[in-house]
Structure 1
Amino acid sequence: MSLRTRLTLLFTAIVSLLLALFCGFLYQLAEGYRERQFQERLRAEASTAGQLLLSQERIDPALYKVLDKNHLTVLPEEEIIIYNSRNRLVYESGTDYLTITPNHLDQIRQDRQVAWRESNRQIVGILFTNHQLPFVIVASAVDSYGQRTVANLGQLLGLGWCVMIGLTGLAGWFFAGRMLRPISQINQQIDNITVSNLSLRLSEGSHRDEINQLAQRFNRMLNRLEEAFRLQRSFVSSASHELRTPLTAITGQVEVALLADDEPEELRATLRSILEDVRGLNRMVNGLLSLANASVDISTVPMGLVQLDTLLDQIRLELKRIQPEYTIDLRIDSPNMPVSPATWQLKGNETLLRTAILNLLDNGGKFSPDHTVQVQLSRRGATICVTVHNTGSVIDQDQQTLIFNPFQRGRNAGSQPGHGIGLALTERIIRLHQGQIQVDSSAEAGTTFTVILPH
């Protein structure tokens, strides 16, 4: 069932229910008004009978019967009965439509006025006092005219309800179609968006409503998808290019070794060269895998408490073991608060943070002329900052944002070995931890990478 049909049915059902309640209320209101008006007429008939038959200026009962039957305002099937204090019948109009029980008489004497119904007949009993003698006068009749009027009103309301429901259904169908037309247009536009033309966008319209917000959010999602596809194509292209170079070198060396009749020492030199290329290729593949792992959703990464000061000291020792010629100067600033192990704790993934900081320290030592890196750990309010400083070559201003893209290396890299993966991996890991990484580079101050992580 289409959304338009569901909206039409729901709209019609709600309106039909409200109309039914309104018509029922009107019908009950009219019926109650008819019943109260007829009861007033019966009370008037009973009071008139008492005045004419029981007062000092009474008339003959036979004459009253004649007058009552020929009266222009006589009620349909009217009957008047009068009882004295001993429950003896004093007067009866003679139609014999009604039977009064002693219980009814006692209730009338107690309440002085009682009204009830028997089938379609309405009955009113009053207590009439004449010369301190109590009489019970009961008047009853059938309000045939009023009942027909109310019945006709009920039929009219029912017919009007049916007509209005039909009109409501048609109006709802037209209204739902008009309201869903922008969604239909969005569906048509979405069908035209494919992988080959991700640059297409939905028309947002001029109305600031939910449909406009939906189109805006969908366009923003398309922007992110297009950027992701662009990065993926760039990543695949760059990775293919970077992998092709060592593979070509390895292939060429193996082919030359197979064709040439070299001495064992020359073959060993060729194998050492191939081994070095394979190691570089292995480092690149590991970097690509780490870069892919750092691009996953944060909810899939196991997080725990990381003692950052201890982690920095471990990284310093690890890098010193790998690169003995590097000098790592680690300094931990004392914050303006009581120092405890919790001062340098943060929530994160220790393995990923180790990789990110190790890349920064390795880059600092690689590009520093004396292979010296200065590392500083400090607190800034609710954040923890790690700065990595070296005095190497300057990173140009226009290159300071590009170096965080995969396979992008600054012009200062020169002949230094690398594939442009380390900083991209570091930036994604820091962003995964809801942190920031900044770079400042000048000929006077050197190059400083600042990592800001939430405490």
Structure 2
Amino acid sequence: MIKKLHFGKRTIRVQLTTWYILLLACTLMLFSSYLYVVLEHSLLRQLNTTLQVTATQTLSNLINKDGHPAFHITEESQAMTEQFVQAGIAVRLIDQQGHIWDGFGSYSAIPILIPQKKGYLDLSSPEKNWRVYNQPIQTSKGYIVWLQVAESLEPVYKASKHLFDLIILGFPLVLLIAGLGGWFLANRALNPIQQIISKAQRISASNFTQRIDYKGPPDEVGRLAKTIDKMLDRLEFAFEHERRFTADAAHELRTPLTVIKGRIGVTLSRIRTPEEYEITLQDLEKEADRLIRLTNGLLFLARLELRQIQPSFLQPVDLTNLLGALVEQLEPLSASKPIILKETIAKNLWILGNPDYLTSLFLNLLDNALKYTQEGGQVILEAQQDEEQVKITIQDTGLGIEAKHLPYLFERFYRVEEARSRQTGGVGLGLAIAQEICRLHGGKLTVDSQINQGTTFSLFLPRTRNF
């Protein structure tokens, strides 16, 4: 249970909610602090304005009495004084020695302090804290008397404390509501991902037909679901390809082994003459050669598909000489059938490639053309180039291939005619190997064929400048 709770704390849902609450808490703290400071300064500014206005009005009501200033008592001044007193304002006149000459309101509760300059002071007494405005007055005798206008700071403190209490009480409530809202929003945002996880967990190597099939809006989650579906399509194709390859390879390996076992069983069933033993051994040798060709072809194809070709294997290759040598090598085979082997090869055909791989590629294509062309037919090899690429075509006048077979012609073990392929000794890997070699060299291999008119293989390879 502890492990589950510990793991749950690390879910994206919890992390999003936690970060949301922390961010909101920091924002509220900053905003509340700013609001508290602004309110306090605003109240102090209003209080300062009130004190200064009161001082201005009071100055206009001063008279000179016995050589020093005093408040002039009139009906109008008494009404104004009562308003000041009711507002909690205290006013007094004090000299440099601290003697109070006159005043009204609770001026006696204000601590005695002789100011040094005009302006505002905060004074504290056991009962109250005061905000005092000090205004110097020059008497007729030349000495300074201070007009002090004061008001209690308690309303400011109470308003600030009230705001602080509201912040303290509302802060947890706001965070609680925000946390619940964040959890709800995180659930709503992550529920599609949970559905994707549930569907993905039901997909296995034996059940690749299921897809996420997301029906929501085309947002990030929707794009993720579509990406996963496309990945599953590729994986399904790869698994199906490997299963088909495994089944085909097992079938191809089983056939010669069955023949070998059958021939051995028949031979051992009774005593044979030396000539019969020799014929049997020759047949066994043919099947063993077929097994060797098959395994070598599979290993070679596997290396090609893994792209195990190092840059050091690539070198400038003169296709003019290479193709000419291959045609010369195959002329005895074509003459024995007999088949006319023609060539039209341009000069200075250079590409960057691996000579051994390229030899295997062209031998596969030329050998196929010679195998499936009847007596008296012809095979034509043409090689030309333009500014970007070298084009090699191998055209024969054989029976041709039906259009339905062309899309699968470069697949492993695919045969157009099973019986004919076995008669020619093929294992169904030649064109697949040719296709992979072409891709390794950055080229493209295509085929075009028509029944009773022959087949043409076209190979396009990137051109390299002359050396």
* TM range, smaller chain: 0.7 to 0.9
Who is 2:31 aligned against?
Answer: 22
Aligned-pair identity (%): 28
How far is the alpha carbon of 1:395 from its aligned partner?
1.5
The partner residue of 1:365 within 364, 370, 375 is 370
**AA at the equivalent of 1:436:** K
Output aligned runs, 1:184-333, within 5 Å: 184-296=194-306, 301-303=309-311, 306=314, 309-310=317-318, 313-314=321-322, 317=325, 320-321=328-329, 324-326=332-334, 327=341, 329=343, 331-332=345-346
Q: Which moved more, 1:21-30 or 1:163-172?
A: 21-30
How far is the alpha carbon of 1:71 from its aligned partner?
1.8
The Cα offsets for residues 45-75 of structure 1, whole Å up to 9 and x where unpaired, read as 333443334679996369799x689821233
Counterpart-to-counterpart distance in 2, 1:16 and 1:213: 33
Matched, 1:385 2:399: no
**AA at the equivalent of 1:361:** L
Counterpart-to-counterpart distance in 1, 2:206 and 2:285: 42
Contact 1:246–1:278, Cα closer than 8 Å, also in 2: yes
How far is the alpha carbon of 1:265 from its aligned partner?
4.7
Contact 1:115–1:122, Cα closer than 8 Å, also in 2: yes
How far is the alpha carbon of 1:221 from its aligned partner?
1.6
Output aligned runs, 1:121-200, within 5 Å: 121-126=130-135, 137-200=147-210
Who is 1:376 aligned against?
Answer: 383
Name the SS for the 2:86 alignment partner: coil
How far is the alpha carbon of 1:321 from its aligned partner?
4.6
Are residues 448 and 96 of structure 1, via their aligned partners in 2, closer, same or farther at CA, if it must alter by over 3 Å?
Answer: same
Are residues 444 and 393 of structure 1, via their aligned partners in 2, closer, same or farther at CA, if it must alter by over 3 Å?
Answer: closer
Are residues 248 and 148 of structure 1, via their aligned partners in 2, closer, same or farther at CA, if it must alter by over 3 Å?
Answer: same
Matched, 1:405 2:414: no
Who is 1:339 aligned against?
Answer: none
Q: Which runs of 5+ in 1 are unaligned?
A: 109-113, 335-342
**AA at the equivalent of 1:397:** A
**AA at the equivalent of 1:451:** L
**AA at the equivalent of 1:14:** L
Q: Which moved more, 1:358-367 or 1:193-202?
A: 358-367
Counterpart-to-counterpart distance in 1, 2:278 and 2:123: 122
The partner residue of 1:419 within 416, 427, 432 is 427
Matched, 1:47 2:61: no
Contact 1:309–1:377, Cα closer than 8 Å, also in 2: no
The partner residue of 2:113 within 88, 99, 102 is 99
Name the SS for the 2:457 alignment partner: strand
Who is 1:72 aligned against?
Answer: 86
How far is the alpha carbon of 1:359 from its aligned partner?
2.3
Aligned residues: 428
How far is the alpha carbon of 1:313 from its aligned partner?
3.4
Who is 1:450 aligned against?
Answer: 458
Are residues 332 and 19 of structure 1, via their aligned partners in 2, closer, same or farther at CA, if it must alter by over 3 Å?
Answer: farther
Counterpart-to-counterpart distance in 1, 2:383 and 2:30: 76
Contact 2:17–2:182, Cα closer than 8 Å, also in 1: yes
Contact 1:81–1:139, Cα closer than 8 Å, also in 2: no
How far is the alpha carbon of 1:316 from its aligned partner?
5.2
Are residues 135 and 365 of structure 1, via their aligned partners in 2, closer, same or farther at CA, if it must alter by over 3 Å?
Answer: farther
Contact 2:378–2:397, Cα closer than 8 Å, also in 1: no
Are residues 314 and 384 of structure 1, via their aligned partners in 2, closer, same or farther at CA, if it must alter by over 3 Å?
Answer: closer
Name the SS for the 1:197 alignment partner: coil
Q: Which moved more, 1:53-62 or 1:417-426?
A: 53-62
Are residues 96 and 163 of structure 1, via their aligned partners in 2, closer, same or farther at CA, if it must alter by over 3 Å?
Answer: closer
Are residues 452 and 69 of structure 1, via their aligned partners in 2, closer, same or farther at CA, if it must alter by over 3 Å?
Answer: same
Counterpart-to-counterpart distance in 2, 1:357 and 1:99: 111
How far is the alpha carbon of 1:317 from its aligned partner?
3.0
Counterpart-to-counterpart distance in 2, 1:132 and 1:396: 130
Counterpart-to-counterpart distance in 2, 1:294 and 1:259: 44
Name the SS for the 1:60 alignment partner: strand
After TM superposition, the score normalised by the length of structure 2 is 0.77
**AA at the equivalent of 1:364:** A
Counterpart-to-counterpart distance in 2, 1:241 and 1:204: 40
The Cα offsets for residues 175-220 of structure 1, whole Å up to 9 and x where unpaired, read as 2112211122222222222233211222310422222222222222
Name the SS for the 2:36 alignment partner: helix
Name the SS for the 1:374 alignment partner: strand
Counterpart-to-counterpart distance in 1, 2:135 and 2:278: 131
Name the SS for the 1:392 alignment partner: coil
Name the SS for the 1:163 alignment partner: helix
Who is 2:46 aligned against?
Answer: 37
Contact 1:372–1:390, Cα closer than 8 Å, also in 2: yes
After TM superposition, the score normalised by the length of structure 1 is 0.79
**AA at the equivalent of 1:376:** A
**AA at the equivalent of 2:165:** Q
Who is 1:340 aligned against?
Answer: none
Are residues 388 and 121 of structure 1, via their aligned partners in 2, closer, same or farther at CA, if it must alter by over 3 Å?
Answer: farther
Counterpart-to-counterpart distance in 2, 1:262 and 1:220: 62
Are residues 138 and 438 of structure 1, via their aligned partners in 2, closer, same or farther at CA, if it must alter by over 3 Å?
Answer: farther
Are residues 389 and 137 of structure 1, via their aligned partners in 2, closer, same or farther at CA, if it must alter by over 3 Å?
Answer: farther
**AA at the equivalent of 2:425:** P
How far is the alpha carbon of 1:353 from its aligned partner?
4.7
Q: Which moved more, 1:122-131 or 1:227-236?
A: 122-131
Counterpart-to-counterpart distance in 2, 1:373 and 1:2: 67
